[in-house]
Structure 1
């Protein structure tokens, strides 16, 4: 029996001869870019001469493997020299030098890519009173200053970023031809309608692009673009197709409206932050924009339709589809990379000759790295190469194995492809995110049921949109259920609490994961191990999927406030009314619990984190909010007494590039449908029972027609100050001061008179919180009390103008509330 299994699974030997050269080129490019600022071309020449001298000695001694050594050494040296020359050429470009001085420039540019809307940390402009910057706040990349500078140019919401080739530059009295690719950041309605290939003239301030691998240039445009020449006809036609596709998708449901342009032409502007966050958790981000799988699928369809005409017409048809897709989507670097990898994956999956496909992949990687050494530091490129390698080496073998065991060919490919891609990319993804997605394979399997039809129908919608609007709208409507299925898979599986598990994002962690995967793949060659693995996966799926995915209905519809179950402390989340976006008020003591709460709410964008004061039970979970999310700013009150906590907040903020701002009384912020106003304190308290607690930021939030009062740990003195100032404290919802402490004034509760009170508190906390006194006051006015110790995550909802509540159920064990605030009730 064992012999039969070994014979069935015997595969042709894999051609690995180009792999060492590929790794050498990659390493050479990395070393060249990393050391280019300290290396001269002359030094490289001398080093290369020494290397070839050593290889020559090996040749003279008739070392058997000298041809391989010579090839590997030549590949490394070639990549090293090319990357160094690239870097130094960029660094010495006069435009780069001018950018280092922040010079004003007028440039003649050729647009290289369509403008991409940058995610703004504050979707709605801040209200008239701005937040005050805090000293020593960490620096962040500047947004485009001012407007377009052209009074005739209408303003557009958001900031746009595009790449362009600088043909001519005027800096001061100097005119020169820089021949450099730069980034342009600007605001204005004209930028998103520029077409790649157009020549324009603009003026603005030059700056160093710190996000570029090579020394780069960023132009902050201060004028509207002057069009000098039109784009080529094929670029104009492609732009028209993209524009009409967005228009025809505008009548679809919110998720489908964003997914259709994203899936077909890579336009992700309409995809909600919530869907992006869920897709990231479930490993479906490759479906939100054009990837190698899109090229492979559509080119494969072209080859299939022309197969009867013979291999050459079929290959030519596939090539035509490939070129057409590149033009349609746009000639960006990621698109060209996806086209190359998709073409190789198509060859591998169609001919089933992984022996030939792997050398083709290696040759493509070598060529791409020598053409553009910056790809060596591109995470997207690394993931594309790994995914393609998985499709070449693993997917055909697994698919054939499934077919031998009775699985239909189509279903075998459906199961093998996402599993192979996930396993191949797992080490890099774990290194980036610090987590392993357990939901990725089932999510991709479920999404794969509709991706092909959705992409084909969407492409039909795009191609008919410019000349037959009725047909395009009908196709968009037909595609909507398929697109909604993809979104549903992402949303549902992201709610599974075990959708991702933590993994060390370090070199030892990556090496350990790689070793485990390699050992697992080798172990799966044995029949009994395979049978045991199938049994475990099947059992886990039968038990966990219904329990963790189907039954969970969180977050509830219409939620405006959620008190997170984070133990003894406060972690409050205020919805902005926009999917995936919320303001966080305090972060609790535990980063993991705070991150879990935000993940359950599908929050990917946090315009503002408010830290009411610096006690550990309010700021300890900050590191669970910042990584992996778009955070606009961290707002703080006057409390600076807890110096270690203050330093930690600034360290975390600096590490994530998030500014720290002060929130003095009168500060207003707005984001989406949410607006907040800081009511107090007027300044730092001194000589009270607890100055730190009384220094808590108190704010009033307005959303969906209701008022929400957030109080932190404000005690008697702070409450009395608000009453003395005559502040309108009336609110529908009250965050109970100091976790339901007894230190609350009856006059304060009477002034607020909330319908609902939310109390962030841990079980068996040892402080007697919430106190019977506070609960009695709330009962006397008929307020509904939400407690995180008894009810878990607790939500306040507004549906059809009516106020309601929903709870998720307590999940933390007894005793989880001990520790925390450090002061009693």
Structure 2
């Protein structure tokens, strides 16, 4: 026993490696850049701590197994069921039924509250998996929230009532709305009840731009503020440490119920209690060990929690603060808070940039000031006034000043559009930051690391692709077309896909640090080809819109009209316009021919067999199949005339038109063309490196497991030569 206790004590502070190994394993599923770090971590444990190596293997196996189980579990699809309402919003509610949680939308005419037992008649809502990088994946979002399906209720009847933990938060909000109004009500809902929807609508945009929106999401900061306040209070009351821990634990447990059992609060409370118990009972675990254990428990319950920004931010910042405790020591409370804020912002920067797509120069000072304000004044004042309503005027004054300060700072336009667009850039940044912190803690300078981090940011902004690289990306935008051609000196988008409430293409371009397109060419005017034009025009700088007519009267960009026989020159690329007719007709589609890299491309829009029979066609290497593979396009004569090596079909999953047509696919396969489909492979990219050849990759989360590996194992093909007669391809399968 003594030897065991001694061994455990010697490993205190090293159990964090179990958490590191587990998190890296889950990250490796979708981010290959994490794999070498996982191997390095396991190699380190094998060499220096065999006991922990065995434990890490066990942790990795359990988490990957849980990931597989959750990822492949069938979604809830019963159209008629009974369940208990657990939370309520204006037009939706979550319902617990058959041991799972489902999200139910409705038209707003049904009035329910947590604890209601309801009979539901609904239709299943389906969502296509995310297949454009940086895009919002609704399916993974549901999994990260522990929701097994989404439905739309056509009938919802309350048949009873029972207790549910969500009732506590719901009733307290109802009490607050009766007791308070104005800024005081907003402050209480935000900081005492953890209701981020109470933030005034006009402050949503400046809060996101400044990177302070996290202040209004119930989080570990609220837990920390409550715990610190109670610790200071109980210390003045001269209560013993054990008694303090009990009272604080009870208070935090009640706060968890008040916030409806929010995942972020459960996580933060568990972290605090784990550290407190370890210190109280002098267990051989450090604060980092406790954080790692809680993280592993959360991920074992739901591995998709790692997808949420809240999880990544809270644990990353918590680890950084604990590990950087030597740097943060300061007798002055304000200076210490400022140091913590600087460290937290530096560590969280890649995640915040991924969320916001920009960096606001006033963001760091705003975070430092507002975090201090919320931590030391807003949260305590909100709780105090909630229990002492007579002090409401005081909270009104605090709220008015707080909201006006956010609005005032938000009017200062100091945003820089930048993002670490690749996982490799994020990893490089964190490595540089880690080295800088180690050097700083040892009293050495960090000028070199600062220069390296600055250069990395500049390169991420200025060089979103490999210098000299050309590429054609066929986005999976469902039943529509959107094709991005990138080459030195040229960025052109051919069609925009249909209207998209998630702004998937806008997110892609901004988070790839692409803020200007030379041309947006619209092959014709169908909604599935021009639907996102206005959103793109509002969000990006567009040199010209190229079309056969003015298809966007409200756009800022000017329209350049084009006709058959014209050439569109973009950088070193020349697009020959083989046909351009009436934008209202499929056969009026603009048809383009261009040599990109070492391939001859033919872009056909929705051109049909009538147009195909009217033109003389060149031999091509890659054909963008017309009209999503419809039977009205891609005739046998056309296939024989163009003789494509590769055919790409942009088409939606389970579309109601039956595209692509089986006869068209057989026709292409009979011609020995390799067929790529966005409904099967997701977004497909053809890259042409400066040293020659063609690299084909795809981005899809269709099976929701092993996407990073799928990009190589299922989709990756490297063509060393691109002519059909001497193709040498290395297919990794």
Q: TM-score range by the shorter chain?
A: 0.5 to 0.7
Structure 2 contact 102–148 (Cα < 8 Å) conserved: yes
Measure, in 1, the Cα distance between the counterparts of 2:381 and 2:448. 41
Q: Which residue of structure 2 lines up, in the alignment, with residue 25 of structure 1?
A: 22
Q: Which residue of structure 2 lines up, in the alignment, with residue 517 of structure 1?
A: 433
Q: Which residue of structure 1 lines up, in the alignment, with residue 92 of structure 2?
A: 161
Alignment of 1:81 onto 2:65? yes
Alignment of 1:115 onto 2:88? yes
Alignment of 1:240 onto 2:240? no
Secondary structure of the equivalent of 1:228?
Answer: strand
Measure, in 2, the Cα distance between the counterparts of 1:506 and 1:445. 28
Q: CA RMSD in A?
A: 4.9
Q: Measure how far apart 1:444 and its partner are.
A: 2.3
Structure 2 contact 326–441 (Cα < 8 Å) conserved: no
Distance 1:231 1:526, change over 3 A: closer
Distance 1:248 1:654, change over 3 A: farther
Secondary structure of the equivalent of 2:304?
Answer: helix
Q: Measure how far apart 1:364 and its partner are.
A: 0.9
Distance 1:248 1:349, change over 3 A: farther
Alignment of 1:321 onto 2:247? no
Distance 1:645 1:447, change over 3 A: farther
Q: 2:119 aligns with which of 201, 208, 220?
A: 201
Q: 2:211 aligns with which of 257, 280, 283?
A: 283
Task: Deviation per CA, 1:257-295: give whole Å up to 9, x if none.
Answer: 544312221223332343122112222112212111101
Task: Deviation per CA, 1:456-488: give whole Å up to 9, x if none.
Answer: 2212333x4xxxxxx52x433211232333333
Q: Measure how far apart 1:345 and its partner are.
A: 7.9
Task: Deviation per CA, 1:478-511: give whole Å up to 9, x if none.
Answer: 1123233333343333333334451332123212
Q: How does 1:33-72 map to 2 (within 5 A)?
A: 65-72=49-56
Structure 2 contact 208–356 (Cα < 8 Å) conserved: no
Instruction: Structure 1 unaligned segments of length 5 or more: list them.
Output: 1-11, 36-50, 118-159, 168-178, 465-470, 535-613, 617-621, 631-639, 659-689, 699-709, 716-825
Structure 1 contact 22–365 (Cα < 8 Å) conserved: yes
Q: Which residue of structure 2 lines up, in the alignment, with residue 493 of structure 1?
A: 409
Q: How does 1:705-720 map to 2 (within 5 A)?
A: none
Number of matched residues?
Answer: 462
Q: Measure how far apart 1:183 and its partner are.
A: 1.0
Measure, in 1, the Cα distance between the counterparts of 2:559 and 2:30. 53
Alignment of 1:212 onto 2:139? yes
Q: Which residue of structure 1 lines up, in the alignment, with residue 344 of structure 2?
A: 421
Q: Which residue of structure 1 lines up, in the alignment, with residue 158 of structure 2?
A: 226
Structure 1 contact 435–503 (Cα < 8 Å) conserved: yes
Structure 1 contact 434–504 (Cα < 8 Å) conserved: no
Measure, in 1, the Cα distance between the counterparts of 2:361 and 2:520. 43
Task: Deviation per CA, 1:626-657: give whole Å up to 9, x if none.
Answer: 44999xxxxxxxxx995369799958939999
Q: 1:180 aligns with which of 91, 100, 115?
A: 100
Secondary structure of the equivalent of 2:156?
Answer: coil
Task: Deviation per CA, 1:648-690: give whole Å up to 9, x if none.
Answer: 99589399999xxxxxxxxxxxxxxxxxxxxxxxxxxxxxxx9
Q: Measure how far apart 1:344 and its partner are.
A: 6.1
Distance 1:17 1:615, change over 3 A: closer
Structure 1 contact 447–489 (Cα < 8 Å) conserved: no
Structure 1 contact 28–78 (Cα < 8 Å) conserved: no
Structure 1 contact 30–377 (Cα < 8 Å) conserved: no
Secondary structure of the equivalent of 1:298?
Answer: helix
Measure, in 2, the Cα distance between the counterparts of 1:374 and 1:615. 34
Task: Deviation per CA, 1:781-814: give whole Å up to 9, x if none.
Answer: xxxxxxxxxxxxxxxxxxxxxxxxxxxxxxxxxx
Structure 1 contact 203–221 (Cα < 8 Å) conserved: yes
Q: Which residue of structure 2 lines up, in the alignment, with residue 458 of structure 1?
A: 382
Secondary structure of the equivalent of 1:309?
Answer: coil
Range 362-371 or range 642-651, more displaced: 642-651
Measure, in 1, the Cα distance between the counterparts of 2:285 and 2:534. 45
Alignment of 1:398 onto 2:327? yes
Measure, in 2, the Cα distance between the counterparts of 1:28 and 1:655. 41
Task: Deviation per CA, 1:602-626: give whole Å up to 9, x if none.
Answer: xxxxxxxxxxxx999xxxxx99994
TM-score of the aligned structures, taking structure 2 as reference length: 0.54
Secondary structure of the equivalent of 1:524?
Answer: helix
Range 341-350 or range 18-27, more displaced: 341-350
Structure 2 contact 503–535 (Cα < 8 Å) conserved: no
Instruction: Structure 2 unaligned segments of length 5 or more: list them.
Output: 1-8, 33-38, 129-137, 451-493, 497-501, 511-518, 538-546, 561-733
Q: Which residue of structure 1 lines up, in the alignment, with residue 532 of structure 2?
A: 653
Measure, in 1, the Cα distance between the counterparts of 2:435 and 2:26. 30
Task: Deviation per CA, 1:343-375: give whole Å up to 9, x if none.
Answer: 568899999999821111011111111122221
Secondary structure of the equivalent of 1:497?
Answer: coil
Structure 2 contact 94–104 (Cα < 8 Å) conserved: yes
Measure, in 1, the Cα distance between the counterparts of 2:556 and 2:298. 57
Structure 1 contact 303–314 (Cα < 8 Å) conserved: yes
Measure, in 2, the Cα distance between the counterparts of 1:334 and 1:499. 29
Task: Deviation per CA, 1:300-351: give whole Å up to 9, x if none.
Answer: 3223323312011100011011110011110233332243345568899999
Distance 1:299 1:650, change over 3 A: farther
